[in-house]
């Protein structure tokens, strides 16, 4: 009996995986986003044994340049592809700088249980021991695996399979740059995707949002805590027109006393305030470091600041909670979202 191979669409967006250095020892200094997706795919001939692969170039840029426009364009294109009966999964090659953010946005907004996998590399294809080809091969393996169905958007790097909700980049150059606070969902070994757990928080088909219904994303800013931070930082963020401020606080969402007045004033203007932590892991407890109920603030739970930002952008995109006049119940709804997702 002939095995029927799944149909996978490969979308290129640029990044290190599409980069080129002047020499084979340029692993950190190189030109980003040079190679077209067809050339990247051609370097992984073994992938043709796994799936029927079509490729298209959507962007050609470093992911540090991604903004709401790219997120929406990419999400809507993937949504269109996933509705096709002749598409079984999607793989996106992506710069590693903001790959976890794009993955989480898609995790929240794609209304499909088909596998979607993001992949990048820490070394360009021109470098000695580039990780790009194997990462891409492994990503295609995962996208073609029936076990990946229903697990939301995944990120594959360094032989590990991560859920988009948890994964973050933690190194500027190491191949093991990505990790999750609760560990990976699984690994890829010798061309086999091995899963050991599944994400339990709502995503994709169980999410409250659909990319097809989102036409614009509100601005949400992040203020990073540091010793001696001044209220002028909060004022500047408010003046920029944000709908919410995520404060990447010290410790358990602690707020320096000189900022409390400015953040309360921001909330009085209709700008939501979310306490997160700059530590990178752990839980910011509501009414822990600050009296959130009294100030009508929000707590990010265990989510890192840059992902709490994306969750707020998605939540406010279809909610009146970002308007100048709002009820306290909007804060309750947003706190539930931060708690559940």
DSSP label at residue 267: H
Evaluate whether 130 touches 157 at the Cβ level (below 8 Å): no
Rounded distance, CA 31 to CA 15, Å?
9
> What span, in angstroms and rounded, lies between the C-alpha atoms of 111 and 80?
10
Catalytic residue chosen out of the listed positions 16, 98, 102, 109: 16
Residue found by looking up tokens 């992506």 in the block? 94
The active-site residue, picked from 96, 109, 204, 331, is 96
Whether the CB-CB separation of 96 and 155 falls below 8 Å is answered with no
Contact yes or no for 156/117 (Cβ under 8 A): yes
Catalytic annotation on 16? yes
Nearest Cα neighbor of 220 from 240, 190, 201, 202 is: 240
Active site residue 204: no
Alpha helices in 27-184 (DSSP H): 37-42, 68-82, 99-109, 132-143
Positions marked catalytic: 16, 96
């Amino acid at each position: 009996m002939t095995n029927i191979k799944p149909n996978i669409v490969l979308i290129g967006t640029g990044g290190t995986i599409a980069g080129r250095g002047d020499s084979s020892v340029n692993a950190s200094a190189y030109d980003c986003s040079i190679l077209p997706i067809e050339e990247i795919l051609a370097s992984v001939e073994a992938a043709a044994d796994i799936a029927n692969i079509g490729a298209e170039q959507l962007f050609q840029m470093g992911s540090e340049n991604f903004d709401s426009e790219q997120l929406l364009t990419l999400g809507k294109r993937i949504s269109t592809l996933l509705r096709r009966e002749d598409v079984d999964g999607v793989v996106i090659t992506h710069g590693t700088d903001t790959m976890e953010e794009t993955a989480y946005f898609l995790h929240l907004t794609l209304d499909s249980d088909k596998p979607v996998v993001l992949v990048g590399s820490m070394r360009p294809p021109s470098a000695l021991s580039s990780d790009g080809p194997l990462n891409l091969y492994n990503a295609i393996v995962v996208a073609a695996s029936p076990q990946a169905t229903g697990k939301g958007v995944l990120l594959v790097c360094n032989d590990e399979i991560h859920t988009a909700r948890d994964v973050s980049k933690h190194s500027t150059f190491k191949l093991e740059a990505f990790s999750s606070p609760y560990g990976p969902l699984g690994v890829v070994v010798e061309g086999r995707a091995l899963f050991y757990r599944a994400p339990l928080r709502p995503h994709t088909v169980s999410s409250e949002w659909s990319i097809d219904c989102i036409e614009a994303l509100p601005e949400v800013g992040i203020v990073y805590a540091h010793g001696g931070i001044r209220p002028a930082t909060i004022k500047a963020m408010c003046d920029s027109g944000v709908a919410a401020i995520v404060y990447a606080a010290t410790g358990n969402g602690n707020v320096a006393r000189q900022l409390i007045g400015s953040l309360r004033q921001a909330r009085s203007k209709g700008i939501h305030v979310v306490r997160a932590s700059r530590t990178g892991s752990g839980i910011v407890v509501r009414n822990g470091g600050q009296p959130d109920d009294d100030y009508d603030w929000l707590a990010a739970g265990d989510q890192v600041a840059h992902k709490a930002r994306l969750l707020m952008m998605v939540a406010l995109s279809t909610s009146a909670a970002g308007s100048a006049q709002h009820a306290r119940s909007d804060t309750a709804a947003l706190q539930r979202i931060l708690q559940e997702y």
